[in-house]
Amino acid sequence: MTYKIIYKTGESFISNAKTLVEAKKEATEYATYGFGSIYIIKGEDSESSSDPVSIKFEHDNEWIDP
C-alpha cells in the first residue's frame, strides 16, 4: 500500500513506508513547527485530505484513525 502524507500547510509527499504505523512515524518525523495537522491517505494520486486513514493535530500527541 502506498501512503500520501499531507500537512495542513499545503506540503505533501509520498511516504516510503510500507505500513500505516511506519507512515505515521515518518509524517511525525518530517513535521515542522506550525504544521497544524497531518493527514495520511491511501494512494499517491489523491490530492484530497477528505478521506484520511489517519489524522494528527499539532496540539495533540495522538493519532486519530477515523
Report the first-to-last Cα separation within the chain, whole angstroms: 18
Predicted TM-score of the model (pTM): 0.87
**Which residues are within 8 A (CB) of 41 and not within 5 positions of it... i.e. 6 or more apart?**
3, 4, 6, 48, 49, 51, 52, 53
The whole-angstrom separation of Cα 21 and Cα 23 is: 5
- The domain total for the chain is 1
pLDDT of residue 53: 94
The enclosing H or E element of 21 equals helix 20-30
- The dihedral formed by the CA atoms of 23, 28, 32 and 35, expressed in degrees to the nearest 10: 80
Residue 13: give the domain boundaries: 3-64
Question: Which grid cell is 65?
Answer: 484513525
pLDDT tens track for 7-59:
999 999 999 999 999 999 999 999 988 999 999 999 877 666 678 999 999 99
